[in-house]
Amino acid sequence: MLRRTLLASALAIPALAACATATSGARDPLAPLPLDTSSHARPEIARVTHVSLDLTADFERKVMRGKATLSIAARDDAREIVLDSLNLVIHRVSAGGAETTYTLGESRPSLGAPLTIALNGARTVEIEYESGPDAASLQWLTPAQTASNKPFLFSQGQSILNRTWIPTQDSPGIRQTYDARIVAPEGLKVVMSAEMLTPEGEPLGDGQRAFRFRMPQPIPPYLIAIGIGDLVHRATGPRTGVYAEPSVVERGAYECADMERMMDVAEALYGPYRWGRYDVLILPPSFPYGGMENPRLTFLTPTFLAGDRSLVSLVAHELAHSWSGNLVTNAVWADGWLNEGFTSYIEGRIGEALFGEENARMAEALAWADIQTALTTVTPDGQRLHWVGEVDANDNSSAITYDKGALFLRTIERIVGRTRLDTYLRSYFDRYAFQPMTTQHFLADFRQHVVRGDAALEAQLLLDQWAYEPGIPSNAQAPVATGFNDIPGHIEAFIAGGPPAAAPWEHWNTMQRQRYLQTLPRELSATQLRDLEAAFGLDDIGNMEVRFDWLSLAIANSFEPSSAAIERFLSEQGRGKFIRPLYRALMQRGEWGQALARRTYAHARDGYHPIVAAAVDRILAA
């Protein structure tokens, strides 16, 4: 059954044209791209090929200000270029060095306004500007919000936030190289998702320091990223290391000790790591994601520092994006599963190589359970890998984009064999390195190189159903995780009145503990909850994934004794994946939950990243 969506049919020819140029050498800088409804750019006329930033981080006013110089590839008859901008304050624009005219169109929420600049025959434009107040991509932290009691700034570009601090074409299909000179107050270090040309910076003699960077490989603009703070570096191997505030860096280096081996595993599977170094930056606790795969410099939440390396699959995931996402990139966000689903699959492969098959099966079983939940809670439209129409981004659960995407690849693996899929994926990353990708083009490429007209194989794979339909196709198989075998028995014994301490909690790993907490009945008595908490110290458990699962259970039962622990958890970190569901759950628990949510939010909101705060605003207003 061949599904042709509006978007998919519009792509058919352009995406395949890109393939032809890949084998014949240099890529056409104006190669056709699918329409990105999240950008104002008109890349068929003129597109940005290089961004040169010369900016000062003004911690007093909380703005980035300075100049962006853009290099442009354009049709001979192009009169103008259209950029994305959201709340930028534009001071002056020139083209080829001469002042030119520009217009800022009507601004739409999230999308921002088109910034249209007359080219007058030039192929560079210079924009003097500053970021607006409350730029959604930037979080300016006060000294009190950091470990070292110094100011801190970090950016988060994905998906369409970078237009709040960089005036460029903010579309993942429009790849751009970049360089930057960033001025920051003396005493702080600037790091970026690029080669660091001046690790210590250059003193300017006025209490400030300038840092320079260079990213020579073309990247989608959501991967331009910056961090500024009291940062030090610890090597974890010849190519890898950790940046963090001084009091965090040792713990960070301990947790990340496996990074060099992870790189070796990924390279053996999918070909050379093409970005030079791989460092991670551990951010203050308000970082809104688990991780962000900024090239050469993954950004990480400090909530993964469990002290026992039990949450390093996060690092494997972000590292895997060095192939799926950063090298071959979803051309439009409707195909986000090409980034996240592939990456979750590779994350699993790295984990399997490092920590064994049993561990891998347990991770797959947890993901399988999340998919099952999504099938009952997410609208059918939100269950498609390739999004169609106006899918509400909030409806699009990560269990689909990430876990269904990975399950699709594992299903292919089971049917065609691991060797065949590995060989194919390696060739895919080589063939499309530094290029955008669409679902339709991936399927065409897979058919060309693997299915090759084999009708029986085609019928077995159900490729179009996986990519374009809601639900999970019939050829998916539930993972068998023997490490979880005993858990139902321990739960039954506890429900029958046995003490929770009868379960071998101390011998369980993080995933077994999560499985136990996630599969306990959602309705428990206050006595049962008190016994659980007392047996395992759940209110204070250092592992944030486990504590999240516990507090979810506590909230589902309006378990008052954990109120303080809930408030603390929601105040000491700002990771959206933890914050949003807990506020949502609290708001469904009547008087107790709503009062706790409002009381906590009143003082915690200031610590949250703008995008998390905006989401919680909506949850509390509903």
- Point out which residues bind Zn ion (CB under 5 A): 340, 343
DSSP string, 157-196: -TTTTGGGT--B---TTS-EEEEEEEEEETT-EEEESSEE
Strand 124-130 to 278-282 pairing = unpaired
CA distances from 480 to 76, 277, 357, 491 (A): 59, 37, 11, 19
Which residue, 124, 26, 32, 127, is CA-closest to 72? 124
SS3 546: helix
User: Using the rule CB under 6 A, is 172 a contact of ligand BES?
Assistant: no
Task: Report what 292 binds from Zn ion, ligand BES, none; CB cut-off 5-8 Å by kind.
Answer: ligand BES
User: Using the rule CB under 6 A, is 291 a contact of ligand BES?
Assistant: yes
Among 34, 66, 290, 500, binds ligand BES (CB under 6 A): 290
Q: What is the CA radius of gyration of the chain?
A: 25
Residue closer to ligand BES, measured from CB, 71 or 552: 552
Residue range at the interface with ligand BES (CB under 6 A); choices 38-46, 262-270, 290-298, 376-384: 290-298
Residues paired with residue 81 on neighbouring β-strands, in sequence order:
117
Catalytic choice (80, 130, 255, 318): 318
Ramachandran sector of residue 110 (left: φ over 0; alpha: ψ -120 to 50; beta: rest) = left
User: Using the rule CB under 6 A, is 296 a contact of ligand BES?
Assistant: no
Give the whole-angstrom CA distance, residue 214 versus residue 337. Answer: 29
Confirm whether 402 is a catalytic residue.
yes
Catalytic choice (178, 278, 402, 601): 402
Give me the phi and psi of 262, to 5 degrees please: -60, -40
Count of C-beta atoms within a 10 Å radius of residue 402:
24
Residue range at the interface with ligand BES (CB under 6 A); choices 22-30, 39-47, 285-293, 585-593: 285-293
Residue closer to ligand BES, measured from CB, 154 or 559: 154
- Determine the angle formed by the axes of helices 259-270 and 313-320, rounding to 10 degrees: 40
User: Using the rule CB under 6 A, is 318 a contact of ligand BES?
Assistant: yes
499-512 burial: b if 16+ Cβ within 10 Å, else e:
ebeebebeebebbb
- The nearest distance, CB 343 to ligand BES, in angstroms, is 6
Helix (H) or strand (E) holding 127: strand 124-130
Which residues, 6+ apart, have CB-to-CB distance to 608 below 8 Å?
286, 288, 574, 579, 616
Residue closer to Zn ion, measured from CB, 84 or 318: 318
Give a three-class secondary structure readout of 288-308.
CCCEECCCCEEEECHHHCCCC
Residue range at the interface with ligand BES (CB under 6 A); choices 5-13, 289-297, 364-372, 601-609: 289-297
Q: Where are the alpha helices (DSSP H) in 204-297?
A: 246-255, 259-270
Binding to ligand BES (CB under 6 A): which residues in 322-381? 340
Task: Report what 549 binds from ligand BES, Zn ion, none; CB cut-off 5-8 Å by kind.
Answer: none
Residue closer to ligand BES, measured from CB, 230 or 258: 258
CA angle 288, 290, 291 (to 5 degrees): 100
User: Using the rule CB under 6 A, is 610 a contact of ligand BES?
Assistant: no
Residue range at the interface with ligand BES (CB under 6 A); choices 171-179, 183-191, 291-299, 601-609: 291-299
CA distances from 274 to 65, 277, 295 (A): 32, 9, 10
Quick note: the x/- pattern for ligand BES over 387-406, rule CB under 6 A, is ---------------x----
Residue range at the interface with ligand BES (CB under 6 A); choices 81-89, 109-117, 120-128, 287-295: 287-295
Residue closer to ligand BES, measured from CB, 66 or 341: 341
Task: Report what 401 binds from Zn ion, ligand BES, none; CB cut-off 5-8 Å by kind.
Answer: none
Residue closer to ligand BES, measured from CB, 281 or 314: 314
CB half-sphere exposure, 386, CA atoms < 13 A: 24
User: Using the rule CB under 6 A, is 159 a contact of ligand BES?
Assistant: yes
- The nearest distance, CB 481 to ligand BES, in angstroms, is 18
User: Using the rule CB under 6 A, is 5 a contact of ligand BES?
Assistant: no
Confirm whether 318 is a catalytic residue.
yes
Among 79, 233, 251, 577, binds ligand BES (CB under 6 A): 577
Among 278, 289, 446, 550, binds ligand BES (CB under 6 A): 289
Which residue, 278, 265, 402, is CA-closest to 338? 402
Residue closer to Zn ion, measured from CB, 126 or 279: 279
CA angle 524, 528, 533 (to 5 degrees): 110
Task: Report what 39 binds from ligand BES, Zn ion, none; CB cut-off 5-8 Å by kind.
Answer: none
Residue range at the interface with ligand BES (CB under 6 A); choices 162-170, 312-320, 357-365, 614-622: 312-320
Task: Count Cβ atoms within 10 A of the Cβ of residue 522 and give its class: 0-12 exposed, 13-18 middle, 19 or more buried.
Answer: exposed
- The nearest distance, CB 408 to Zn ion, in angstroms, is 16
* Structural contact between residues 108 and 208, judged by C-beta atoms closer than 8 angstroms: no
Among 293, 403, 464, 545, binds ligand BES (CB under 6 A): 293
Residue closer to Zn ion, measured from CB, 322 or 343: 343
User: Using the rule CB under 6 A, is 84 a contact of ligand BES?
Assistant: no
SS3 548: helix
User: Using the rule CB under 6 A, is 221 a contact of ligand BES?
Assistant: no
Which residue, 5, 167, 143, is CA-closest to 91? 167
Strand 240-244 to 232-235 pairing = antiparallel
Residue closer to ligand BES, measured from CB, 59 or 345: 345
Among 181, 189, 209, 317, binds ligand BES (CB under 6 A): 317
Number of residues located near ligand BES, criterion CB under 6 A: 14
The answer, yes or no, to whether the previous bond of 324 is cis (omega within 30 of 0) is no
Give me the phi and psi of 588, to 5 degrees please: -90, 5
Residue closer to ligand BES, measured from CB, 249 or 363: 363
Q: Tell the residue number behind the tokens 């129409």, with chain if given.
A: 389
- The nearest distance, CB 157 to ligand BES, in angstroms, is 8
Among 196, 248, 314, 546, binds ligand BES (CB under 6 A): 314
Task: Report what 270 binds from Zn ion, ligand BES, none; CB cut-off 5-8 Å by kind.
Answer: none
Q: Which residues bind to ligand BES, rule: CB under 6 A?
A: 158-159, 289-293, 314, 317-318, 321, 340, 402, 577
Active site residues: 318, 402
